[in-house]
């Protein structure tokens, strides 16, 4: 096999092992939610200490949907530091157009700290924005002009519209 193919297979295996590891982590108390639908704006404050110790927070939800023009803001505080925020969506992650999953501009969280682990279909429509790395076990559809401030890693198909931006920030974890 070609060296490039071998490197790609090794990276795929590592990504899959990491996703499996994250799916098995215990949920931070108080951060197991039902299905979430954001109609306009919603903020979630991320605690600095989860069940895994300082700086690690694990959130769980069956599905996440943002309506058109909706914004979900994730906020940390001075004690969140450089920890990891793992957000597990067991079903579908769907954003209307243009919707935004953002970080509090006055907080300390950075996109490299946020990891989305999605079992279901990921649908981003035109001009959507997601802060963090997206790992998906299903198809990822990214619409025209959308931005992912992180990486996109899928074990199935990834489709994109024109002018999609993926910053591919290194992530913690």
How do residues 106-147 score in pLDDT, each as one tens digit? 877 889 889 999 999 999 999 999 999 999 989 999 999 999
What tens digit of pLDDT does each residue of 96-115 get? 999 999 998 887 788 988 99
Whether pTM > 0.85 for this model: the answer is yes
Instruction: Count how many residues are written for the chain.
Output: 173
Q: Which helix (H) or strand (E) holds 114?
A: strand 114-118
Task: Give the pLDDT confidence score for residue 124 in this predicted structure.
Answer: 96
User: How far is Cα 147 from Cα 6, in angstroms, rounded to an integer?
Assistant: 29
User: How far is Cα 124 from Cα 149, in angstroms, rounded to an integer?
Assistant: 13
Radius of gyration of the chain (CA): 15
Query: Is the CB of residue 105 less than 8 Å from the CB of residue 135?
Result: no
Measured CA distances, 7 to 4, 11, 12, 16, 50 (Å): 5, 6, 9, 14, 34
Task: With a cut of 60, say whether residue 5 has pLDDT above it.
Answer: no
């Amino acid at each position: 096999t070609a060296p490039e193919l071998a490197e790609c297979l090794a990276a795929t295996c590592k990504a899959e092992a990491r996703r499996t590891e994250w799916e098995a982590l215990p949920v931070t108390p108080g951060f197991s939610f039902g299905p979430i639908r954001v109609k306009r704006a919603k903020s979630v404050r991320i605690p600095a200490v989860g069940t895994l110790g300082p700086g690690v927070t694990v959130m769980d939800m069956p599905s996440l949907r943002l309506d058109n023009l909706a914004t979900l803001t994730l906020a940390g505080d001075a004690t969140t530091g450089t920890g990891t925020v793992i957000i597990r969506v067991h079903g579908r992650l769907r954003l209307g157009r243009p919707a935004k999953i953002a970080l509090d501009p006055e907080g300390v969280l950075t996109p490299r700290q946020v990891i989305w682990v999605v079992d279901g279909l990921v649908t981003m429509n035109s001009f959507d924005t997601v802060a963090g790395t997206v790992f998906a076990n299903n198809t990822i559809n990214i619409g025209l002009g959308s931005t992912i401030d992180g990486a996109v890693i899928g074990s199935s198909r990834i489709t994109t519209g024109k002018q999609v931006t993926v910053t591919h920030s290194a992530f913690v974890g």
